[in-house]
Structure 1
């Protein structure tokens, strides 16, 4: 299996960032990736350029790194465009503290909203009221208190917020790409 088709998770991408000398969380860039795919059909070349800019490097350090970055993009695009609605934001998992997971969700949301805001008001006018409301709600997620204490209640609240963010991202993609996901064409790989 090539690296481009290998499942990318938060820790894998964070380790890849470390290889490139960056301590930043991949959550912010994943939010930008998701919104970029929805709003601009972000190309593979543009994505590699954005990742390198964020990491402060001219290019990925080697071919396997480039393949992983491209695999991250492909995985996100396939999940957003897929009929099974299986998109998941790239966030810290249960091995991280609740506060770290909340920080990851906040960073993801900030990255996502940055791309949406940069697109201007034009696209927003065509969006459904449900999408506009969902995106307005994301502003509250971006401003949330992230120093959460470990508790079942906070765990449940974070899960609900994550689910809300996930649904908003899929709704944005779907409204920006009418006719997708298409159940009949789930195996078609002509998307870019």
Structure 2
């Protein structure tokens, strides 16, 4: 099994960034990736160029690194288009403090909103459902959330709810921009 077939986790991508001398979190780029895929797609080559540019390198150091970065793109695209609606932002998991998890969500929202601001005009926005516009209007607020959180059940629940909102907004944007994908209401009998 190649790296590209494995599920990419936050720490896998962060380790790949470290290998390339970058301490930055993958969360910001994951927000950008999700928005790019939802709005207009981003080719594998363009995605690799964007990651390399962000890391300040010309190309990945080795084939496994390139494979992992391309697998990240494919995994995100597949999750956004899957009927299971199982897309999840690439964020720090429970091995990180709540403050680090909140920072990751904030960075993800910043990346997502940056693409929206650069790509979406009023004409496109008006084509979207009211529910999608409302969900997307909340994302700039996520980009300013308080990240200095104590590890408490209340903060954990709040952060989970905010992450779920970001996840749903991303999937709503993808489904409205890609009619018929995912085919969540299609029965197995109608699949070809």
Same topology, TM > 0.5:
yes
Counterpart-to-counterpart distance in 1, 2:120 and 2:132: 15
Counterpart-to-counterpart distance in 1, 2:47 and 2:170: 18
Name the structure 2 match of 1:99.
Answer: 99
Name the structure 2 match of 1:174.
Answer: 175
1:115 and 2:115 matched: yes
Counterpart-to-counterpart distance in 1, 2:3 and 2:142: 33
User: What's the CA shift string for 1:162-189, capped at 9, x where partnerless?
Assistant: 0000000000000010110025599xxx
Using the TM superposition, give the Cα deviation of residue 128 of structure 1 relative to its aligned residue in structure 2, in angstroms: 0.6
Using the TM superposition, give the Cα deviation of residue 143 of structure 1 relative to its aligned residue in structure 2, in angstroms: 1.0
Gaps of 5+ in 2: none
Counterpart-to-counterpart distance in 1, 2:145 and 2:162: 10
**RMSD between aligned alpha carbons?**
1.3
Using the TM superposition, give the Cα deviation of residue 3 of structure 1 relative to its aligned residue in structure 2, in angstroms: 1.4
**TM-score normalized with structure 2 length:** 0.94
**TM-score normalized with structure 1 length:** 0.94
* Structure 1 consecutive aligned stretches of length 4 or more whose deviation exceeds 6 Å: none
Name the structure 1 match of 2:15.
Answer: 15
Name the structure 2 match of 1:40.
Answer: 40
Name the structure 1 match of 2:138.
Answer: 137
Using the TM superposition, give the Cα deviation of residue 120 of structure 1 relative to its aligned residue in structure 2, in angstroms: 2.9
